[in-house]
Structure 1
Amino acid sequence: MADDIDYEALPANAGFAVNMLAGALAGISEHAVMFPVDSIKTRMQVFATSPVAVYSGVGNAFTRISSTEGMRALWRGVSSVVLGAGPAHAVHFGTLEAVKELAGGNEAGNQWLATSLAGASATIASDALMNPFDVVKQRMQVHKSEFRSVFTCARVVFRNEGLSAFYVSYPTTLAISIPFNAIQFTVYEQLKRFMNPSHQYSPTTHIVSGAVAGAVAAAVTTPLDVAKTILQTRGTSTDADIRNVRGMADAFRVIWQRDGIKGFGRGLTPRVLTIMPSTALCWLSYEFFKAAIRTD
């Protein structure tokens, strides 16, 4: 019977392709649904010179942006995420499952080291692909962005700042993503094993485990995310100090000088609000598509 099939036990000759396709579909679902909150997070992390672009909270930002710029402003840049998220998540989940299998993460018992290694390896590969799309996305999300087209934005950034603009934040992105994904994947796997020891398809298990894992990882890595936003949006700033930021250390210096210790928590609430449901949706979508593709 179909109910007796362990959907996680994919054939060796089909598992990698299934994981990549499921990951791509999950990634697009995740980012598209939570994009407006992500736009608010980006704006709250930017050190704006105009009082109009300074927000006291998520509700305040949502109200002011939607009333002054229209709801469409909250979706500006979503096409960049959709273009990049599919391939990047396909690579992420494909690498994740391959490394987990090679490292023995699918064996019985607490395989936290194998799952952490799998999460970190997947991140290095997927972020290399996603970073340029993320730069374009954030350039389009900032207050009074001049860009309405992904390709126009990419072309202008390349012309004015060169190829390095798309990868200046890559070391910082990895500094965020490696611990983020290692934490997320480890927490997710442990909670999933605890809540669903039979390894059957269980939407509730995937939602709860994904949400908790995402919230923990998001909170821990927020300071690094603030630095990443500064690096990726530096070209839009009129502040010479911010425009000349060259790396994570420079970004940390600017944050400390401008806002002290609280500056490292800028955008914490919308980041958690974005990532908590989006990781729940991502894992739910991933497990669903994996199960659906497996049974078709």
Structure 2
Amino acid sequence: KCFLYCNGLMDHLYVCQNGSGCAAWYKAPTRFTGTLDAFVKITRYEGVRSLWSGLPPTLVMAVPATVIYFTTYDQLRDYLHARTGSQGHHIPLLAGALARLGAVTVISPLELIRTKMQSRQLSYRELGVCIQSAVAQDGWLSLWRGWGPTVLRDVPFSALYWFNYELVREWLCGQTRLNEATFMISFASGAISGTVAAVLTLPFDVVKTQRQIELGDSEVHPVAASKPSSTWLLMRRIRAESGTRGLFAGFLPRVIKVAPACAIMISTYEFGKTFFQKLNQERRLRGL
């Protein structure tokens, strides 16, 4: 049996082979009537700490991925502004898409490795053998398995997110008559833009989740695993089985997860960037 869960920053795959190893992680009750019900029951039966389960390995992946992503976006945005001489809102749209594309491409093999380690509970030596075998059998591109659905979800999300973020931040600064965004303006802009982007890209998130579950099942039953279908065929299958609503499954949990995550990340990033810019400026003035 394969389970997919998210701790707020990253998806995690947990595989129970032959029904073993699940008791400590997957406890009764197994049915939730909603997001709030899930919070209450998980806290009651597994403790508050279980809501942050898997955080350390997540941070190992999330921190470098976020550093690459945010830094690349800032550099690309400034470069495109200088190169084109334009301050148009299409610049954040393009920079956001390219930055996420680069970050996903760099992190994708590490994501696959992490998924294999979670699903098979491999040691590092066994993992090396597994990767060598996969490369020998399917080539180096096999390390980027699942790259397509991830790009289809994350790149449009990033483009929409940065487009809306810059737009909302500019509007809020205008409303408050401020030249620079405050922490709360960045926080609100991040939450609003994250919500809009999350809703519009939800079908691709559903497909990516389905792909991850298929990957986990293939690790447990490699012989019985079928060849993965394309993203569009998978979307058609979900729509045929569950209707259009099936493509928007998990709407509320995704918004609850993404909106505060985007708000916290961008506001702390902007705060840190402003803080260190002022610190460097003060040091330069002292040196004069």
Q: Is the CA contact (8 Å cut-off) linking 1:188 and 1:209 kept in structure 2?
A: yes
Deviation at 1:134, TM superposition (A): 4.5
Query: Which amino acid in structure 1 is aligned with residue 164 of structure 2?
Result: V
Coordinate RMSD, CA, aligned? 3.8
Aligned to 1:112: 89
Aligned to 2:73: 96
Q: Please, which of 158, 164, 183 is the counterpart of residue 160 of structure 2?
A: 183
Name the CA distance, whole Å, in 2 between partners of 1:252 and 1:192.
34
1:228 paired with 2:211, answer no
1:291 paired with 2:271, answer no
CA deviations on 1:231-251 (whole Å, 9 max, x unpaired) are 123233379997642431343
CA deviations on 1:217-267 (whole Å, 9 max, x unpaired) are 000001100111111232333799976424313432442344232221122
Name the CA distance, whole Å, in 1 between partners of 2:60 and 2:205.
22
Query: Which amino acid in structure 1 is aligned with residue 238 of structure 2?
Result: I
Deviates more, 1:191-200 or 1:243-252: 243-252
Q: Is the CA contact (8 Å cut-off) linking 2:10 and 2:62 kept in structure 1?
A: no
Structure 1 pair 174/235, CA: closer, same or farther in 2 (3 Å)?
A: closer
Greater relative contact order (Cα 8 A, min sep 6): structure 1 or 2?
1
Aligned to 1:263: 246
Q: How does 1:194-233 map to 2 (within 5 A)?
A: 194-197=171-174, 198-233=178-213
Aligned to 1:5: none
Aligned to 2:286: none
Structure 1 pair 100/207, CA: closer, same or farther in 2 (3 Å)?
A: same
Percent identity between matched residues is 23
Structure 1 portions without partners, runs of 5+: 1-34, 44-49
Q: Please, which of 38, 55, 68 is the counterpart of residue 61 of structure 1?
A: 38
Name the CA distance, whole Å, in 2 between partners of 1:263 and 1:128.
28
Deviation at 1:93, TM superposition (A): 1.8
Query: Which amino acid in structure 2 is aligned with residue 283 of structure 1?
Result: I
Aligned to 1:12: none
1:36 paired with 2:16, answer no
Name the CA distance, whole Å, in 2 between partners of 1:270 and 1:108.
41
Structure 2 portions without partners, runs of 5+: 1-5, 15-25, 280-288
- 1:55 aligned counterpart, secondary structure: coil
Q: Is the CA contact (8 Å cut-off) linking 2:104 and 2:151 kept in structure 1?
A: yes
Q: How does 1:93-172 map to 2 (within 5 A)?
A: 93-104=70-81, 111-135=88-112, 158=131, 167-172=144-149
**How many aligned positions are there?**
252
Name the CA distance, whole Å, in 2 between partners of 1:42 and 1:207.
30
Structure 1 pair 196/84, CA: closer, same or farther in 2 (3 Å)?
A: same
Q: Is the CA contact (8 Å cut-off) linking 2:203 and 2:247 kept in structure 1?
A: yes
Query: Which amino acid in structure 2 is aligned with residue 112 of structure 1?
Result: H
Deviates more, 1:213-222 or 1:250-259: 250-259
Deviation at 1:111, TM superposition (A): 1.1
1:86 paired with 2:63, answer yes
Deviates more, 1:227-236 or 1:269-278: 227-236
Query: Which amino acid in structure 1 is aligned with residue 56 of structure 2?
Result: S
Name the CA distance, whole Å, in 2 between partners of 1:67 and 1:184.
35
Query: Which amino acid in structure 2 is aligned with residue 251 of structure 1?
Result: L
Q: How does 1:40-55 map to 2 (within 5 A)?
A: 53-55=30-32
Q: Is the CA contact (8 Å cut-off) linking 2:198 and 2:254 kept in structure 1?
A: yes
Deviation at 1:106, TM superposition (A): 10
Structure 1 pair 40/179, CA: closer, same or farther in 2 (3 Å)?
A: closer
Deviation at 1:199, TM superposition (A): 3.5
Could you state the TM-score of these two structures normalised by the residue count of structure 2? 0.71
1:274 paired with 2:257, answer yes
Deviates more, 1:270-279 or 1:191-200: 191-200
CA deviations on 1:274-295 (whole Å, 9 max, x unpaired) are 1101111111011011011112
Aligned to 1:26: none
